[in-house]
Chains A and B, each alone.
Chain A
């Protein structure tokens, strides 16, 4: 795709580009709707459901971007593990449903709008100015290539992440065992 070329006319719906765009829009819609549900639902369990929809939309985007491994990991880890953990926390805490939060300060609404507006305009400006160059396909998303990259070029990052996870596990164990000795 030529980055400097402005989009003068929309591609027809039944061309390859048109269909790709349509699929992309559907995925965006799924992600955004999921995010909206997660933010606005009154019941916390529904928020988790919205989060799952959002994650599935993101996974679809990864698949769309030709990296099935990341997409499946997104489903396996975020939907299968993170959301389940959140749902567990909700069930154990048994929050009061339909409970309204206390009144927000008078400035919170306008400030939120202003912040959101600034972020949106900034992103739009960045997107319009950015030069989109199509990069060569790195490795076709194959697991073998990803593994080799992890243990050669990015081994430092990989090890650091595993240390972070190890610390998290030890911390969880310490917290969980604190009440046991009595």
Chain B
């Protein structure tokens, strides 16, 4: 009993630390990546390659005063950043990084992550409404409608993968793909020939779910100042930022586990946590690359893409997979 309690505490501490370090250094990576794509230097003054920039930014944010705007709904305003960060950290607990490294492997891993991810929309909603700022409210309505509509194709696609594997356990899903890249779920199999399309749908949805460009309508800075976190300064803003990057790491991890074989090596050599990390950071690099090379879509284009293209395709894929599973 005490050992499991200790395990849980250690796991939670590691999850928080992993999320925080990733959030800090992904901001750095994002800024450096953006600078490279836009042919400018980016943060390169503090430390080698500007590597000291994230801790210094953190100190700056923490020393700033937390301002609450006059008309704001104080409680919701204070709760929202915490609500943005907490579910993201809780999702980390069930992600298996390799065969031995998983804080608490649950039979329902996929469902745990989706359940906590669905709570993230509430944070945006409270932040926007609590700020009493028209831009914030508009941004939060946009962001939440986007989150809700992209959750559906994402879930349906995940169900397709769960059906072919026959398990919701993230560890088992990874294990089922071990032994070379041709076993990975991203490649079409007899039972689900549309797997590459599933992967693309899932990837698009994870971009949209984490409010990343080209789907960052909730933070469209050219129209809505800064979106739902316009009124947030100091660490309130910091928590939103960390929550966003933690969500990106979770999205990349989930994509890796569901489609890219988890910790499996493409050539069957030395499977382990390093392959997992390599895959998620490659995916995150793609996220950053997409953000700085594509223009933002409109809100109608965004919702149409989900409801008229992604959901029908993913439903068809689900039906096809269900039928073929019965045949083969």
Contact = CB atoms under 8 A, between A and B. Distances in A.
Interface of A: 43, 45-46, 49, 52, 68-69, 72-73, 75-76, 79-81, 83-84, 87-88, 91, 142-143
A-B CB proximity, top 10 nearest: A80-B118, A75-B115, A76-B115, A72-B115, A72-B111, A45-B129, A87-B125, A76-B118, A84-B121, A68-B108
Contacts of A73: 111, 115
A73 B73 CA distance: 30
Contacts of A76: 111, 114-115, 118
B62 interface: no
Contact of A81 (B79, B118, B126, B130): B118
A79 B119 contact: yes
Nearest to B117: A80
Nearest to B137: A91
B118 A75 contact: yes
A143 B129 CA distance: 37
Interface residues of B, number: 27
B6 interface: no
A84 B114 CA distance: 15
Contact of B76 (A45, A72, A80): A45
Interface in B161-178: 168
A141 to B, nearest CB: 9
A122 B76 CA distance: 37
A75 B120 CA distance: 12
Contacts of B73: 43, 45-46
Given A49-B79, A91-B137, A142-B107, A84 B129 contact: no
A79 B86 CA distance: 15
B116 A75 contact: yes
Interface of B: 73, 75-76, 79, 106-108, 111-112, 114-116, 118-119, 121-122, 125-126, 129-130, 137, 141, 144-145, 148, 151, 168
Contacts of B126: 45, 49
Contacts of B130: 45
Contacts of B129: 45, 87, 91
B118 A46 contact: no
Contacts of A46: 73, 75-76
Contacts of A83: 122
A49 to B, nearest CB: 7
Contacts of B144: 84, 87-88
B108 A69 contact: yes
B75 A84 contact: no
Nearest to A59: B115
6 contacts: A49-B76, A49-B79, A84-B125, A87-B122, A87-B144, A142-B107
Contacts of B108: 68-69, 72, 143
Nearest to B155: A76
Contacts of A69: 108, 111
Contacts of A49: 75-76, 79, 126
A99 to B, nearest CB: 16
B122 A81 contact: no
Nearest to B128: A91
B76 A79 contact: no
B236 to A, nearest CB: 17
B148 A81 contact: yes
A91 B141 contact: yes
A68 B121 contact: no
B133 to A, nearest CB: 14
B159 to A, nearest CB: 12
A76 B158 CA distance: 14
A37 to B, nearest CB: 10
A81 B141 CA distance: 14
Given A69-B111, A79-B119, 8 more contacts: A45-B126, A46-B75, A49-B79, A75-B115, A76-B111, A76-B115, A84-B122, A84-B148
